[in-house]
Structure 1
Amino acid sequence: MSFLVLLLVLWVEKFSSWRARIQQDGAWLRLLAWAQRHSAFQHNPWLQLAVLVLLPLAALALLLAVLGVPLHGWLTLPVHLWVLVYALGRGDPLVALGPFRDAWRREDVEAAYLVAQRDLGVEAADADSLLQQAQGYLLWQGYQSFFAVIFWYALLGPLAALAYRLLALTVEHSEDPALRARAAQWRHAFDWLPVRLLAGSFALVGSFVAVSRVLLQELLNWNMPAAQLIANSGRAAEEFGTTSLGESGVSSLDGLWQLLVRAGVFWYAGFAVWTLLF
């Protein structure tokens, strides 16, 4: 059933408007605000994290247990699909990159700086590093929005996928530095394995030698940030030379998106083989 859900989520993502309807974070954000405001949880980030992550996971586990008995568990399929769609990343990185691409194509560096800061949340000292930041943004969003979620769903089911997204939302929306730090620690642990598998996939669908040089140096480095590793691996896979303003810089972003698409096809082929064999 897991592989069927993985196929259905692609249909929901590409051919329906359900994702925007499902990804409603209002109730969880109210829970976050309550946990940060309530005196019993203040100065106790672990207790806050338990309420924000473990409580929804317990409710989901109970629902799956109840629906898993009749009809050989097929009643859980829509729940799996709903959770997996909800666990996908928020927004569309290609849409967010649109104004930056337009400014870069026009060779308008000042506008590119402004829209990168506004839409992507990135800053840089010069034009070359700005483009690298935009490339890293695209690779990171592709990874955390899709690959990390489907990895944990395929490996451990909907509870793990939901846990990953709730940790990501906590890091993004929490106003408590201690809570944000604890959530970031757990998210780093969740990212450690799938980000390396995706980097390895880049080696198979891109430049094997170039990615291997990057990946072997940092393969067992626990402290290496996931965003940095995936950005370095993605750029190595495409073997970018010196990119400049104009169409060549925009083409580099298109090349990285196609790299993510090829890696996604490779992962789904691997999931299909795993389902047939096991």
Structure 2
Amino acid sequence: MTWTVMAVVAALLIGHVLPQVSRWRDFTWFERWLDIVRRAGSGETPWHQYGGVFLCVGLPAVVLALLVGWLEGVFAFLVALAAMLYTWGPRDLDLDVNAIIAAEGLDAKERAAGALYEEGQTVSLEGPVAVAAVFENALTRWFAVLFWFLLLGPGGALAYRLLYLLVHHKHDMTLPEGLRSAAAKTLNAAHCPPAHLMTLAMALAANFDKVVQVWRAWYAEGGPRLDYAFLAAAANASVASELADEAADAEDGPSSAPALLELRDAMSLAWRMLLLWLAVLAVFVLAGLVN
């Protein structure tokens, strides 16, 4: 395997086996960089707004990309691995979901479920909402990072993570509204390609007919657009279909609460999708399409 696949697999294994690596993901330098860009001013025109996004997010990513391009062999691999470890997560999704299932009592489960929601969002253990939260986190923690890493290299992974932090992180300074709006639109656009590929993997790893039906209905409503609401809808349809099949096969009925069963199946489906991505990536490597 090439260094690209090796870095991806190594980052995945290290992040899962050593969850404490999340403590290394310190982005305080990004706050200082944002303050420098804010002081420079982002202007009022759309060009200046998106230009500000590029300064905040793109410039550090370009520096990293140039560094990787300058290095060779094992040094390039180590930088790529560090970039994947740094931008992956920030926590292990599997461990967060297992913590919810293992927690005793509704209050403890809701506290554990807070790891799946952004600050200010209502924490809910309701089945469809929890499933949507699992796949939103799978997108932002795993698949979007992996997609932009494979497409643009370590600089792409760093650009995505910084863009996500620019939109969702609570910053110490007040950023211009135009800059925040442009960053939110850019992040939404950055999520669309990996979300579509996730849905394709979901169709192959779960109920193909259900997923394609939801996907087709979303396109029929408004045509192609910069939105990925279909991902949560397809995930809920897939999980509901799997639970229905399990209930039909079970003799004693479900052994857990429905919401916990949906969380378990959602996490299992996300893992199968990730493994399918890695399998396709390995085929591309063997075919010489990825280096």
TM-score, L = length of structure 1: 0.82
Query: Per chain length, whose mean CA-contact separation is higher, i.e. which structure has more relative contact order (CA < 8 Å, sep 6+)?
Result: 2
1:97-117 deviations in Å (ceiling 9; x for gaps): 5675467x75x4x77667756
1:183 match: 183
Q: Structure 1 vs Structure 2: percent identity of aligned residues?
A: 24
1:216-267 deviations in Å (ceiling 9; x for gaps): 233553142x3x32211111112357999x6222011000000011111111
Change (3 A) 1:191 1:247: same
1:12 match: 14
1:230 match: secondary structure: helix
Shift of 1:269: 0.7
2:250 match: none
1:123 match: 122
2:89 match: 89
Alpha-carbon distance between aligned partners in 1 of 2:152 and 2:114, rounded to the nearest angstrom: 36
**Structure 2, unaligned stretches of length 5 or more?**
248-253
Q: How many residues align?
A: 265
TM-score, L = length of structure 2: 0.78
1:230 match: 231
Alignment of 1:1-278 (within 5 A): 1-16=3-18, 19-36=21-38, 38=39, 40-41=41-42, 45-68=49-72, 73-97=73-97, 101=101, 106=105, 108=106, 120-121=117-118, 122-123=121-122, 130-173=126-169, 174=171, 175-176=174-175, 177-219=177-219, 221-224=224-227, 226=228, 228-240=229-241, 247-278=257-288
Alpha-carbon distance between aligned partners in 1 of 2:90 and 2:166, rounded to the nearest angstrom: 13
2:126 match: secondary structure: helix
Change (3 A) 1:267 1:26: same
Shift of 1:191: 1.4
Shift of 1:161: 1.5
Moved more, 110-119 or 196-205: 110-119
Alpha-carbon distance between aligned partners in 2 of 1:211 and 1:65, rounded to the nearest angstrom: 40
Change (3 A) 1:8 1:102: closer
1:165-217 deviations in Å (ceiling 9; x for gaps): 11111111254332222112111222111101111111111111110101123
Change (3 A) 1:136 1:41: same
**Structure 1, unaligned stretches of length 5 or more?**
none
Shift of 1:53: 1.2
CA RMSD of aligned residues (A): 3.1
